[in-house]
Amino acid sequence: MNTKKAKEGLIYLYCITDKVPKLKEIENLVDKPYFIYHQSLYAIVNKVKESEFDEENLKRNLADLEWIKAKASIHEKAIEGIMKDACVIPFKFATIFNTEDNLKAMLSQHLKEFKALLIKLEDKEEWGVKIYCNSEKLKENLIQEDEQLLNIDKEINSSAPGKAYLLKKKKEELLNIAANKKLNEYGQVSFDRLKEKPTGVRINKLLPKEVTERNDEMILNSAFLINKDKVGDFLNIVEDIRAKYTDKGLFFDCTGPWPPYNFCNPKKGKIHNG
């Protein structure tokens, strides 16, 4: 067995599967991809340069957003390519091994866990749904629908300036309360509908506008693990709730299928010394 560091470079792990992967799917993305077979598992890998991916250089490169963007895109597309024909456990960007023996040792250590995960993920897809809210549009709708707000508007129009000013302040306060209440209601109803078909559900941290690059506020960041034969039903539900709430100020961003990161626990990107 080869216990020396590979002369060609470090070993970069993309994902593992339990069937022979079709590497032609990713040959246009990854330089000379190959697989390492060990105890009925296939690890999809390639060799990468130490000048980019050894511990010191990787730390430097991770501070370069353009470098991360380019490399992470290749990483994700490569996993998605293998996913077309196989159930996979995806690994985090920049999971690096110094030797094949070291990678095999990791596979042996987590063999039961990986096999159980592959059974769990078989014939399923991960889909993501993010819901955003345009608060101004939401409030505009509430002003037209909420009886208490409509009554205050009438009172404002018939009041003296001093009283009208106080009523406007009260209206603003009531509008904010009503908007929060409706937002919670819409979000909960939407989530309850979305989780009808999936076998797994994950609620992730809400992302700020600086990350989403949207003016609207994110109110739900969720992932769903769905049987492939139920994906059509799930997408129909998304369209139903989109039609119901779009005019009320909600925007639904449904994407997939994705590598099932949210439903497995791959090792974080790091160098595994052999």
Domain-wise residue ranges, the chain: 10-122, 126-261
| Per-residue pLDDT reduced to its tens digit, 175-200 | 778 788 888 898 899 999 999 999 99
What confidence category does residue 135 fall into, taking pLDDT thresholds of 50, 70 and 90? Answer: confident
pLDDT at residue 180, as a whole number: 84
- Cβ distance 5 to 98 under 8 Å? yes
pLDDT at 1: 37
Helices then strands, counting H and E runs in the chain, come out as: 10, 9
Mean pLDDT, rounded, of the chain:
86
Q: Which among 123, 21, 132 has a CA at the least distance from the CA of 81?
A: 21
Predicted confidence (pLDDT) per residue in 35-60, tens digit = 999 999 999 999 999 999 988 999 99
Work out the pLDDT band at 154, boundaries 50, 70, 90. Answer: low
Peptide bond into 257 cis (omega under 30): yes
pLDDT for the residue numbered 138: 86
Instruction: Fill in the amino acid letter for 35.
Output: F
**Helix, strand, or coil here: 242?**
helix
